[in-house]
């Protein structure tokens, strides 16, 4: 049996649509389209929910036409749309659009957990279905958590952030030194020109009991360092060294917490996904940690590591293959947990 599904993703500021074709062996991306306007949010200092809603309403119809043209004359059997977690107004746009599309075409509809999409992405980006059990690190601008997935619907949160997400910390620290918003990628680039250890910043939660994360203390320490050394915020060696120290602090924290989760569970398959997994320094540290622990690492490839509709379509395809009922009564849930 082969199914073709459409995925719709509007959990934050990215507007995305994708078409997936899948069977029991795995899935294949047929077409995708994504649009975002970071410059508009940057001018306002961050994500503005009302602005995201306007963008989704404007962009979704165009992206849907674009994706359907790319996908060709494939018969769609199901539609999946992100129902949470995320920004409530943004979620409602995509959820309503997905339901209307499915109803108009006589297709099944599935409300998809955005984080479940991230759990799928390291596997489905390689064309395969998830392998169980595995430990997953989801690390992005809005989420930082470790999940034990022992089966398709059996998931346990091992650790989560007590305050800010890692991606949020990258962005805010980048903005402190004038690298703009979002600034995670700019900070990583700047860090390559600097040297860690030239300044001193804490490694949040490293070596502590459990698997939780925390990044608010790092931000506060960085703020105090900048108050005493304002030259750090100017282009030059000091700023590069500061970025290298930030990069090292967050990276070491992520690798340490992931190692603790693998130690706790004894599981030998580890995955990483989310926008921060595109950071090459973070990815290399996680690869090294996995190699030291002799576990198999699966990384979300290419555009699958950031927010995308392909992973949403893939989860919907799995639901359709399993014959699960449609979710016509589903509502948006901004705090929807991935645990089962």
Instruction: State the average pLDDT for the chain.
Output: 94
Q: What is the CATH number of the domain that holds 102?
A: 3.30.420.40
By residue range, what is the domain housing residue 150? Answer: 134-299
Residue 44's pLDDT is 55
Residues 79 and 164 in one domain: no
Residue 339 lies in a domain: no
Residues 140 and 267 in one domain: yes
Q: What is the 3-state secondary structure (H, E, C) of the chain?
A: CCEEEEEEECCCCCEEEEEEEEECCEEEEEEEEEECCHHHHHHCCCCCHHHHHHHHHHHHHHHHHHHHHHHCCCCCCEEEEEEECCCHHHHHHHHHHHHHHHHHHCCEEEEEEHHHHHHHHHHHCCCCCCCCCEEEEEECCCCEEEEEEEECCEEEEEEEECCCCHHHHHHHHHHHCCCCCCCHHHHHHHHCCCCCCCCCCCCCCCCCCCCCECCHHHHHHHHHHHHHCHHHHCCCHHHHHHHHHHHHHHHHHHHHHHHHHHHHHCCCEEEEECHHHHCHHHHHHHHHHHHHHCCEEEECCHHHHCCCCHHHHHHHHHHHHCCCCCCCCCCCCCCCCCCC
Residue 209's pLDDT is 94
Residue 50's pLDDT is 83
Residues 165 and 272 in one domain: yes
Residue 62 lies in a domain: yes
Residue 327 lies in a domain: no
Residue 340 lies in a domain: no
Kindly tell me if the per-residue pLDDT of 43 is higher than 60: no
336 Cβ partners below 8 Å, 6+ apart? Answer: 83, 84, 85, 113, 114, 115
- Per cent of the chain over pLDDT 70 is 97
Residue 338 lies in a domain: no
Kindly tell me if the per-residue pLDDT of 38 is higher than 70: no
Average pLDDT over residues 33-41: 73
Residues 164 and 190 in one domain: yes
Residue 328 lies in a domain: no
- Per cent of the chain over pLDDT 90 is 89
Residues 140 and 289 in one domain: yes
Average pLDDT over residues 75-104: 97
* pTM for this prediction: 0.94
Residue 330 lies in a domain: no
Residues 49 and 162 in one domain: no
In this predicted model, what pLDDT tens digit does every residue of 147-181 receive, in sequence order?
A: 999 999 899 999 999 999 999 999 999 999 999 87
Residue 73's pLDDT is 82
Residues 166 and 139 in one domain: yes
Helices 237-265 and 216-228: crossing angle in degrees, nearest 10, is 160
Q: Count the domains in the chain.
A: 2
Residues 179 and 56 in one domain: no
Kindly tell me if the per-residue pLDDT of 39 is higher than 70: no
In this predicted model, what pLDDT tens digit does every residue of 200-239 receive, in sequence order?
A: 999 999 999 999 999 999 999 999 999 999 999 999 999 9
Residue 340's pLDDT is 82
pLDDT band for position 13 (cuts 50, 70, 90):
confident
pLDDT band for position 130 (cuts 50, 70, 90):
very high
Average pLDDT over residues 183-190: 93
Average pLDDT over residues 294-307: 93
Residues 218 and 121 in one domain: no
Residues 140 and 36 in one domain: no
Residue 219 lies in a domain: yes
Residues 270 and 307 in one domain: no
Residues 232 and 289 in one domain: yes
């Amino acid at each position: 049996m082969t199914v073709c599904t459409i995925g719709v993703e509007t959990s934050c500021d990215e507007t995305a649509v994708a078409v997936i074709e899948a069977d029991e062996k795995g899935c294949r991306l047929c077409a995708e389209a994504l649009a975002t306007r970071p410059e508009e949010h940057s001018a306002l200092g961050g994500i503005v929910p009302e602005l995201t809603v306007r963008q989704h309403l404007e962009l979704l119809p165009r992206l849907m036409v674009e994706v359907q043209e790319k996908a060709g004359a494939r018969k769609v059997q199901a539609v999946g749309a992100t129902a949470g977690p995320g920004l409530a107004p943004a979620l409602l746009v995509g959820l309503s659009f997905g339901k209307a599309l499915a109803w108009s075409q006589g297709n099944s509809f599935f409300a998809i957990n955005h984080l479940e999409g991230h759990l799928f992405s390291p596997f489905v980006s390689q064309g395969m279905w998830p392998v169980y059990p595995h430990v997953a690190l989801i690390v992005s601008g809005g989420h930082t958590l470790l999940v034990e997935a022992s089966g398709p619907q059996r998931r346990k949160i091992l650790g989560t952030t007590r305050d800010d997400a890692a991606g949020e910390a990258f962005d805010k620290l980048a903005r402190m030194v004038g690298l703009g918003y979002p600034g995670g990628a700019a900070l990583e680039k700047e860090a390559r020109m600097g040297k860690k250890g030239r300044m001193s910043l804490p490694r949040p939660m490293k070596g502590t009991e459990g698997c939780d994360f925390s990044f608010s203390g790092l931000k506060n320490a960085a703020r105090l360092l900048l108050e005493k050394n304002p030259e750090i915020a100017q282009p030059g060696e000091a700023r590069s060294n500061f970025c290298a120290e930030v990069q090292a602090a967050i990276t070491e924290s992520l690798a340490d917490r992931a190692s603790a989760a693998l130690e706790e569970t004894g599981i030998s398959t580890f995955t990483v996904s989310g926008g921060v997994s595109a950071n090459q320094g973070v990815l290399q540290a996680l690869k090294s940690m996995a190699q030291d622990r002799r576990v198999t690492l699966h990384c979300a490839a290419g555009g699958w590591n950031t927010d995308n509709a392909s992973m949403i379509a893939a989860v919907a395809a799995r639901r359709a293959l399993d014959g699960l009922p449609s979710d016509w009564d589903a509502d948006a849930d901004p705090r929807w947990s991935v645990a089962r």
